[in-house]
Amino acid sequence: MDSIDRYLDEVAEMERALPRDDIRRVVEAVRRVRDSGRQLFVMGNGGSAATASHMACDLAKASIANGGKRIMVMALTDNAALMTALANDSSYEDIFAGQLLNLVQPGDLVIAISGSGNSPNVLKAVDAAKRAGATTVGFTGRPGGRLREMADIVVMVPSGRIEQAEDGHLILEHAIAVALRDGVAGETG
């Protein structure tokens, strides 16, 4: 078996072991935010930043069906000017928390994506969100790091390999967007 076969077999095993009930809890949290007119914020570093941007796009557009209610969603990864200003003028640990302090309200939802679960800037933002009264979701890899302990809802991808954790996070965001779109389609007939 070569490395490609091994990797793809491991991803298939990881996908089968994703915690479905935890994913459903995230779908319900996003649905509550959508239905109450609250905001959703998503963030991560590196590959997780790309997933955060992708998730914001899918939740803003791909989760809509039959003219259903839209989700007010923002990826905190997408304002490069503000992120670099915060990093330069304060510290890199403030690039997400600094944005949330301007925006997050009680009842909002903050999704933090971190393969290790230990990214200092993500953890600082989760802390800021919780202090503001927002619900927090953590997408992690195994074993989950500090994010697993901090977030209100945790979906831990059952892999300690960062590439597979990132694969799992992208699967999660697509599954959530599809579940929301299908749910809206069912609600509106």
Q: What is the 3-state secondary structure (H, E, C) of the chain?
A: CCHHHHHHHHHHHHHHCCCHHHHHHHHHHHHHHHHHCCEEEEEECCHHHHHHHHHHHHHHHHCCCCCCCCCEEEECCCCHHHHHHHHHHCCHHHCCHHHHHHHCCCCCEEEEEECCCCCHHHHHHHHHHHHCCCEEEEEEECCCHHHHHHCCEEEEECCCCHHHHHHHHHHHHHHHHHHHHHHHHHHHC
Q: How many CB atoms lie within 10 A of CB 8?
A: 10
Tell me, yes or no, whether 50 lies in a domain.
yes
Sign of CA dihedral 186, 176, 21, 69: negative
Residue 5 CA to residue 167 CA, distance in Å, equals 16
Q: Domain limits at 136? A: 37-188
Tell me, yes or no, whether 19 lies in a domain.
no
* pLDDT for the residue 185: 45
pLDDT one-digit tens code per residue, 72-98:
999 999 999 999 999 999 999 999 999
Tell me, yes or no, whether 171 lies in a domain.
yes
Tell me, yes or no, whether 51 lies in a domain.
yes
- Number of structural domains (the chain) is 1
* pLDDT for the residue 158: 96
* pLDDT for the residue 188: 41
User: For the whole model, what pTM was predicted?
Assistant: 0.94
- Provide the token pair at 188: 């509106």
Tell me, yes or no, whether 11 lies in a domain.
no
* pLDDT for the residue 144: 96
- In degrees and rounded to multiples of 5, residue 137 shows phi and psi of -125, 135
122 and 154 in contact (C-beta within 8 Å)?
no
Q: Lowest-pLDDT range, 113-122, 148-157, 175-184? A: 175-184
Percent with pLDDT over 70 in the chain: 94
Tell me, yes or no, whether 30 lies in a domain.
no
What CATH number is given to the structural domain containing 97? 3.40.50.10490
pLDDT one-digit tens code per residue, 19-31:
999 999 999 999 9
Tell me, yes or no, whether 110 lies in a domain.
yes
Tell me, yes or no, whether 22 lies in a domain.
no
Residue 65 CA to residue 166 CA, distance in Å, equals 27
* pLDDT for the residue 132: 98
67 and 86 in contact (C-beta within 8 Å)?
no
